[in-house]
Amino acid sequence: MRILFTFFILIYCFSSSPWGFFAHKEINYHACFTLPPEMFGFYKTNVDVIRELAVRPDQRRYVVEEESPRHYIDIDFYESKVPLDTLPFYWDSAMFLYGEKVLIDHGIVPWHILKVKYWLTQAMRNHDYSQILELSADLGHYIADAYVPLHTTKNYNGQLTNQHGIHGLWESRLPEVFLSDYDFFLGNAKYIHKPLLSIWMALEESFSAHDTVLNLERE
Ligand SMILES: [Zn+2]
C-alpha cells in the first residue's frame, strides 16, 4: 500500500512540474556553455549534474513549505502594466510598503534569485564544490522561471480566464515539441553589475508578454 501511495505521489510530482522537467534541464545544460573560460572547465566536467539538478527546486515544492513562492511573482497584484513602478525593487522597501506576508503570498522570485546568487558566491569563496553545483543548478532554475510570462501573473494557469492547463502547455508541451526549432546560439555570458536590476528587467519583459501568451492560446 505504501509503495502504491509513493508511486502516485511521484506520478503527481512528475506530471505537474512548472517549466517542465525537460525544459529546465535543457536550459541549465545550455547555460553552462555560455560561461567564460575560467569557469567553463569546472562546469563542463559537471554539466550532467547541473542538468539533472535543474529540477530539484520544483521537487522541493512538495516537501518544503517555503519553496513555492520562490518560483514566481504575481506582478499583476501590484501593477496593471509595464513599466513596473509601483512595487519597490528592493526587499526592504517592498517589505516596508506591503509587509512580509503579502510579499510571500504573491511570490518572491526576484529576491530569492539574489539570495541564491549570494549563497553561490559564498560557496565559491569556500571552494565548496558540492554546494557550488547545487546552488548553480538552483540559480539556473529560478532565473528560468523568472523568464516565464505565466510566472508573473495571478492567472498563472489560465484559471481566471477559463484557459485551464495553459501553464503545462507553455512550459512543457511546447518546448518538448519544438525544441529542434529553437536557436541555441546563445553567445557568451556577460558579467552583470546590477543583478537585481537585471532580474527586474527580465520580469518586466515576462510580465509584458503574459497577455500575449493568454491571447494566443485563446485564438
Ligand atoms: Zn520552478
| CA of residue 132 to ligand 1 center, whole Å | 19
Rounded Cα gap, residues 69 and 88, in angstroms: 18
User: In the chain, where are the structural domains located?
Assistant: 2-218
CA–CA distances in Å: residue 31 to residues 27, 140, 154:
6, 8, 28
| CA of residue 154 to ligand 1 center, whole Å | 15
Rounded Cα gap, residues 181 and 95, in angstroms: 42
| CA of residue 99 to ligand 1 center, whole Å | 24
Length of the chain: 219
Residue 69 has pLDDT above 90, yes or no: yes
Rounded Cα gap, residues 101 and 92, in angstroms: 13
The string of pLDDT tens digits covering residues 152-197 is 999 999 999 999 999 988 888 888 889 889 888 889 999 999 999 9
Residue 30 has pLDDT above 70, yes or no: yes
| CA of residue 1 to ligand 1 center, whole Å | 30
| CA of residue 89 to ligand 1 center, whole Å | 21
End-to-end CA distance of the chain: 45
| CA of residue 71 to ligand 1 center, whole Å | 5
Residue by residue, DSSP assigns 60-126 as HTTT-TTTGGGG---HHHH-SSSS--SS-SSHHHHHHHH-HHHHHHT--HHHHHHHHHHHHHHHHHT
Among 108, 209, 213, CA closest to 168:
213
| CA of residue 161 to ligand 1 center, whole Å | 22
Rounded Cα gap, residues 148 and 207, in angstroms: 8
Residue 14 has pLDDT above 60, yes or no: no
* pLDDT tier for residue 56 given thresholds of 50, 70 and 90: very high
Q: What is the pLDDT of residue 124?
A: 97
Among 151, 130, 122, CA closest to 58:
151
pTM exceeding the 0.85 threshold for the entire prediction? yes
2-218 in CATH: which number?
Answer: 1.10.575.10
